[in-house]
Amino acid sequence: MTTVLQRPQIKIPATDRRVRRERRLTWIARHSIAIVLAIMFLTPVVYLVLLSVMTSQQALTSDYWPNSWHFENYVRVFQVTPLPRYLLNTVIYAVAATGFMLLSSVPAAYALAKLKFRGRNALFLTVICMMMLPPQVVTVPLYLMWAGYGLTGSLTPLIVPMLFGDAFCIFLMRQFLLTIPTDYLDAARVDGCGEWRTLIRVVLPMARPGIAAAGLFQFFYAWNDYYGPLLYTSENESSWTLSLGLASFHGVHHVDWNLVTAATVLAMIPIVVVFFFAQKAFVQGVTLTGVKG
Amino acid sequence: MRLRRNLTTLSFVAPLLIGIAVFFLYPLVSAVYFSFTKFDLLTVPQWVGLENYKRMADDPFLLQSVRNTLWMVAVFVPVRIISAIGLSMLLSQLKRGAGVFRTIFYLPALAPPVAATIAFVYLLKPGTGPVDTLLSHLGIDGPLWFNSPDWSKPSLVLLGLWGIGDIMIIFLAAVLGVPVSLYEAAALDGANAWHRFRYVTLPTIRPVILFATITGVIYTLQYFDQAAVAGSIASGQAVTGGGISTAFGFPEGSTFTYPLWLYTVGFRYNALGYANAMAVVLFVVALAVTVILLRRSKAFSGEEQ
């Protein structure tokens, strides 16, 4: 994170005392604001965690501090709700979607960034339009298509399309591949590498940060997705993902707010863990999408 | 030789071409065709001409969803951008702990929307929730938040501000990319902090503001998850059985965004022809916004930079 976002220091000579005092005051003011904001940003998660270890009776009150700590709620939620099923479905969806997306989208992004062919601009514009298209526009025809094959009620309609490229990930990886100097590719071609070998031997190792960012985005997108599973799996509870399950818990386990919040916290944990392992690739990816505006 | 090269190129983009045909062009053309028909899951499409479009003009529920989405575009987008610029300016000027603060401000953006929405519905629970409890200590009668038609959308804005991290990072990179020499020159000319922001930072990051505005509008046009979940959780019911909640839009339709209403029309009321007419209108609007982005932004043009 630090290498990407390093601040250059401005040097203004500070000799007189008044200036120095003023500066110390702004230092304190800025850091105080930052601390207050940080507390506000952390509050929702802290409150959820506190709620999740209360008894179900206390969770209904206006208390925010647990009278006694019930960490066993995190075990109970696995026993009394279909959480294991949801978790398994979510992992299947996220892993398969990410793997399939990489297989189909890395070559496409490479072609759009580094190969010259007729219709390349038109293809790129189409990818941008797909990326910007609200998913609800094509929802009904796609649903009818999958229903025609009898595949609604499963995660198949969400996973299979990833074999045919994801617009956002293609865009992101293309932007990254543009930054790789073409000289390296020419050198490989002169050495007699075909395009596929150039991609695998030369480009892939250099493009690892861009590919990692796209993979992470896709993983998080699938993990967090609510619209897709709602559309295709709501008719069949055994295919529900975590997001869909969480949104319906409230009705099924109406009074057990402590269990609902425990499940909610559990849905957030993998995201936080993955983020801390891959912070740098992630921040690079986010900046890549917007900074070149 | 030439043919071979073309075949190689084709092998790189073939899956994408199939994807475009099957998952983009085909459903788009079908949506346009279906928009002139009337049918549900059990009947065959029947040609009705422009009837669906005529019906849209005086459908009070549709107009309400248009108003809700326009409200989100007018409030949600600018509030998020202004806050993100403020936050990134603050972060860029911190000398200690900047990394820690950055991570804290960024992380909520990654939280699953459903989980984040549940957290906020609990946090803003009318009367007994921690925010209303805090407000009552200060002598303020807290609003009903997600349970009030007037406050449900502002509550969604608060939720959106919590997840501001992604555009904040984009602005932070832009703010840090402003050449130091510009600030030094301005400081020598006696510019104060506000002037430095107004005449140095702001003009330099303008392209990023444009980018954030357009992508923000696109995001708002498809705003679905949080609105759907907030409505069903706050109402105390949930998505059960057939999956389509009767509580979408709660309270009093105030959280029916355009795409959420489209979904409800199609999959709860089974008016699939009408839903497709709504989809075509949404497509035209999204396309217009995308064209503006393409004309204004270098990163999106196909040319090599």
d(CA A126, CA A111): 14
Provide the mean pLDDT of chain A. 87
Lowest mean per-residue pLDDT among A122-131, A271-280, B109-118, B160-169:
A271-280
In a domain? residue B17: no
CATH code for the domain in which residue B90 is found: 1.10.3720.10
Residues A191, A193, A194, A195, CA torsion sign: negative
pLDDT band of A5, cuts 50, 70, 90: low
Q: How many other CB atoms sit within 10 Å of the CB of residue A134?
A: 22
Q: Is residue B301 part of a domain?
A: no
Distance from CA of A279 to the nearest CA of B (A): 9
CA dist B12 to A106, A108, A116, Å? 9, 5, 12
Cβ contact A137–B118 (<8 Å):
no
Tell me what the mean pLDDT of segment A62-87 comes to.
Answer: 90
Structural domains counted in chain B: 1
Residue B7 lies in a domain: no
A239–chain B nearest CA distance, Å = 12
Side chain identity, residue A92: I
Q: Residues of A numbered 55-94 whose beta carbons fall under 8 angstroms of chain B's beta carbons: which are they? A: 61-62, 64
The string over A255-292, giving b where at least 16 C-beta atoms fall within 10 Å of a residue's C-beta and e elsewhere, is ebbbbbbbbbbbbbebbeebbeebbebbbbbbbbbbbb
Is the per-residue pLDDT at A236 higher than 80?
yes
Q: Which residues in chain A are contacts of B257 at CB distance < 8 A?
A: none
For the residues of B178-225, what is the DSSP string, one character each? S-HHHHHHHHHTT--HHHHIIIIIHHHHHHHHHHHHHHHHHHHHT--H
| pLDDT of amino acid B304 | 43
Give the pLDDT of residue A188.
86
What SS3 state is found at A98? Answer: helix
- Within 8 A by CB and 6+ apart from A7, the residues are B92, B98, B176
B159 in Cβ contact with B146 (< 8 Å): no
- On whether any CB of chain B is under 8 Å from the CB of A242, the answer is yes
Best CA proximity match to B213, nearest among B90, B121, B55, B76: B76
CB pairs under 8 A between A and B: 323
Secondary element (H or E) of residue A20: helix A17-52
The pair of structure tokens assigned to A15 is 């000799």
| Higher per-residue confidence, A266 vs B236 | A266
B244: nearest Cα among A30, A248, A212: A248
- Dihedral sign from CA coordinates of B72, B73, B78, B84: positive
**Beta carbons of B201 and B178 less than 8 angstroms apart:** yes
| pLDDT confidence tier of residue A14, bands split at 50, 70 and 90 | low
DSSP character string of B220-235: HHT--HHHHHHHHHHT
Beta-carbon separation of A41 and B108 below 8 A: yes
* CA distance linking residue A196 with residue A194, whole number of Å: 6
pLDDT for residue A190 is more than 90: no
Q: Quick one: pLDDT band at residue A291, thresholds 50, 70, 90?
A: very low
pLDDT in tens, A203-231: 999 888 889 989 999 999 999 999 999 99
User: Is 50 exceeded by the pLDDT of residue A37?
Assistant: yes
Closest C-alpha to A246, from B233, B87, B202, B110: B233
Residue B255: closest CA among B110, B121, B134: B121
Closest CA to B223 of B267, B252, B259, B249: B259
DSSP, collapsed to helix, strand or coil, labels residue A97 as helix
Interface test with B, best of A136, A189, A256 (most B CBs within 10 A): A136
What does chain B come to in residues? 305
CB-closest option in A42, A271, A293 to B210: A293
pLDDT (tens, 9 = 90+) of chain B, 305 residues, equals 678 888 899 999 999 999 999 999 999 999 999 999 999 888 889 999 999 999 998 899 999 999 999 999 999 999 999 999 999 999 998 888 888 999 999 999 999 999 999 999 989 988 888 898 889 889 888 899 999 999 999 999 999 999 999 899 989 989 998 888 988 898 888 888 889 999 999 999 998 898 899 899 999 999 999 999 998 888 875 444 444 467 788 888 999 999 999 999 999 889 999 999 999 999 999 999 988 888 877 666 554 43
Q: Which residues of A touch B222 (CB under 8 A)?
A: 134-136
How far away is chain B from the Cα of A237, in angstroms, using its nearest Cα? 9
**What percent of chain A stands above pLDDT 70?**
91
Question: Angle at Cα B45 formed by Cα A143 and Cα B24, nearest 5°?
Answer: 40
Are B169 and A12 within 8 A, CB to CB? Answer: no
On whether residue B204 sits in a domain, the answer given is: yes
Mean pLDDT confidence for A88-110: 97
Asked whether residue B53 is domain-assigned, the answer is no
- CB distance B129 to B123 below 8 Å: yes
Distance of CA A283 to the CA centre of its chain: 11
Residue ranges and CATH numbers for the domains of chain A are 88-245+270-290 (1.10.3720.10)
Asked if residue B152 is part of any domain, the answer here is yes
The answer to whether B74 touches B136, Cβ cutoff 8 Å, is no
Amino acid at A153: G
Whole-prediction pTM: 0.90
**Residue B42 domain flag:** no
Which residues have CB under 8 Å from A129's CB, separation 6+? B24, B287, B290
Kindly indicate the confidence band of residue A168, based on its pLDDT and cuts at 50, 70 and 90: very high
pLDDT at B237: 55
- Please, which pLDDT band fits residue A112 given cuts at 50, 70 and 90? very high
Q: What is the pLDDT of residue B305?
A: 38
Token pair in block for residue B87:
């936050």
**Interchain pair B107, A242: CB under 8 A:** no
Inside any domain, residue B123 = yes
Which residues form the domain of B159?
Answer: 60-296
Helices and strands (H and E) in chain B: how many: 15, 2
